[in-house]
A and B are shown apart, each in its own frame.
Chain A
């Protein structure tokens, strides 16, 4: 908490270098009681266009493997494991969405949804999809800015 407050102060003071200087590390993210994350992970605004691309790209978020999104119908084969994300930007606040994307298990305990901004505490962590062992901390599945981009895109999904 103190640390993020300090980082905000830093971000305001050094606006030009904010994006890197103010980045909140995966271990330092402050989740609220129900899993929301108020603080931007980077201090820089998310880019919804890039967020959309991340969600549809297999090597990045690959969110469509589990979720259907009508707005992304140009991308084939949406999954049925999670709920459709249509209207998700109307259902959830930005802070709630940031919490869900960063670590969904803080909002939905035991959720099948992977934690995209988490680096340790895994059982048999592997090196990507090689099947080989990897040392923690692992790189998070998405970077701080990618999370912000995805959240920005999700906020645009207002219609059911």
Chain B
């Protein structure tokens, strides 16, 4: 414990000396370059709408060297097995229309680049904020004539990871004004609400105490730029709403359901707190 805060203090002052400003917290081994070519912004100045943080940091910067390592090369990233599974499903025709994703969208590299960076976003036709899951199921139900996938189901987690891959390295840039504003405000309210018998809000752990240990866990800022995320703990991809649910449950509260309007609103708000960080999905966490 002592060492980590000491390291933080030393890291900060060294960076401040070297750069003449206090913005960067990273030390040399905190640079994330994937496959030797995709340079990730893992910490940067906080967007204006994030009132109580000056620097935003990817969850990757809080992880141990060994966990960080998994994400630096796709050959070592266990999430890529699931991305490959999704690629097979991308090319498989399903449903009454005999179509696959590929029938309309070509390859994910051609058609999906940049999408993950702006998710979730306002859908004009639907008149609400949509996440990747909603877009995927809209295609499945209305264009393929196939069954919708469960929000946190395996094919959905895998597919959202595949769709994220072409956006890796691009800055998260979700829109929070215009028609999305109301949803964003709702999400913000949820973020600061102290729920459950432990009366803890997201902000208590991820804003007030990031970089502190809570028992054996090194608290991050709870950013979602790396989602869906492969966790060494359960050896599979984990959805954003699945993670939210786990954190709310840990406050001894009644959780919201994955896919609920509340969690979509919270997702928009949390995503916006990461505006400026790179899309890392699928990231690796413990």
| One of A68, A77, A79, A115 near B199 (C-beta < 8 A) | A115
Contact indicator B196/A122 (Cβ below 8 Å): yes
Q: With contacts A77-B213, A112-B200, A122-B197 known, is A128 near B254, CB below 8 A?
A: no
- In the complex, what residues of B have CB within 8 A of residue A65's CB? 214-215
Which B47-91 residues sit within 8 Å CB-CB of chain A? none
Contact mask for chain A residues 120-136; partner B; CB cutoff 8 A; 1 contact, 0 none: 00111111111111100
Contact indicator A130/B212 (Cβ below 8 Å): no
Which B190-238 residues sit within 8 Å CB-CB of chain A? 193-200, 204, 208-209, 212-216
Contact indicator B197/A80 (Cβ below 8 Å): no
Contact indicator A124/B215 (Cβ below 8 Å): no
- In the complex, what residues of A have CB within 8 A of residue B214's CB? 65-66, 79-81
Q: Does B253 contact A (CB under 8 A)?
A: yes
Interface SS, B side:
loop
- In the complex, what residues of A have CB within 8 A of residue B215's CB? 62, 64-65, 77-79
Contact indicator B248/A131 (Cβ below 8 Å): yes
Q: How large is the interface on B (under 10, 10 to 19, 20 to 34, 35 or more residues)?
A: 20 to 34
Q: How large is the interface on A (under 10, 10 to 19, 20 to 34, 35 or more residues)?
A: 20 to 34
| One of A68, A126, A131, A132 near B197 (C-beta < 8 A) | A126
CA distance A108 to B21 in the complex (A): 35
Q: Does A138 contact B (CB under 8 A)?
A: yes
Q: Does B44 contact A (CB under 8 A)?
A: no
CA distance A78 to B250 in the complex (A): 18
Q: Does A114 contact B (CB under 8 A)?
A: yes
CA distance A136 to B198 in the complex (A): 14
Contact indicator A126/B199 (Cβ below 8 Å): no
Q: Does B252 contact A (CB under 8 A)?
A: yes
Contact indicator B200/A126 (Cβ below 8 Å): no
A-B contact pairs, 14 of them (CB 8 A): A78-B215, A79-B212, A79-B213, A80-B214, A81-B213, A112-B208, A125-B197, A125-B253, A126-B249, A126-B251, A129-B249, A131-B248, A133-B254, A134-B254
